[in-house]
Amino acid sequence: MKKLFALSFFAMVLLLTATAQKVGGDPDKLTAKEKKAVEEIRQRYSDMKKMISLMGEGPDWQDRAVDADSPGGWPPEYFHVKVVQNLPATGYHEENVRIYYEEEEIPEEIYPPLRMAFASSKYNFAARQYYEEYLYDKKGNLIFIFAQEPDLDTGMWRQMRFYMQGTKVVHTIVRECPLTDDLEVRDLSQDPASEVYSGSGLPTGYIESVDTYVQKAKKIEKMFKAIDEGRTL
């Protein structure tokens, strides 16, 4: 009986350990500098999303009251690239990339140089839809990656957040929730998503994903530069 209890207790310890390893990470392991970086990233992300939500559309943007405090909202200032293709095996493919920018603070310049501030990319392969966001600091450095993708093998939506300091990921959050039949990209904050990982550093299982997204960010940066150099003003 004692042996059975010991085995049961040992199995429970292993289960709890495995669960802890799955959730993983420890926000308290972040250095003071890294914690500050994460806080600043969250604040900048919040500021950018608010600006985008208030941003008007089209030449009559000022006539459209967004809210009582900011009639007309922000002027529409972004690059929008739409790619439509018919791909082998997957058929119709549409990718929409929006790049939001900021002006360099040069008072004497009427048309000062631009720098990337935020980019979003929404695309599909067959019925699978993907969505990504890339946030940049005021020096044009990539500091945050958000990605949402479907995993048909597990039947789950996977939502990933990677907070960066330099080229290093210092904080990672991964959440999942069951796929819906339409496979539409949606805000997982409105769904009963479970946390797969939340903590310091970058789990080895997501290293390849981050490398892929960083390469995608570099492609968008090249796109931004090409459009910026080609614009009339």
Question: Where do the domains of the chain lie?
Answer: 2-230
pLDDT in the model for residue 152: 78
Q: How many CB atoms lie within 10 A of CB 15?
A: 10
Whole-number Cα distances in Å, 32 to 169, 217, 230: 15, 27, 42
10-residue block means of pLDDT along the chain (233 residues)?
Answer: 40 37 61 93 95 83 64 82 91 94 83 92 88 95 95 85 95 87 57 80 94 97 94 76
CB 179 within 8 A of CB 199: no
Amino acid identity of 73? G
3: phi then psi, degrees, rounded to nearest 5: -65, -40
pLDDT in the model for residue 73: 73
- pTM for the full model? 0.82
For the chain, the residue count is 233
- Residues near 133 by beta carbon (within 8 Å), at least 6 away in sequence: 118, 119, 120, 121, 144, 145, 146, 147
Q: How many CB atoms lie within 10 A of CB 38?
A: 19
Query: In 3D, which of 79, 75, 159, 161 has the Cα closest to residue 117?
Result: 79
CB 116 within 8 A of CB 224: yes
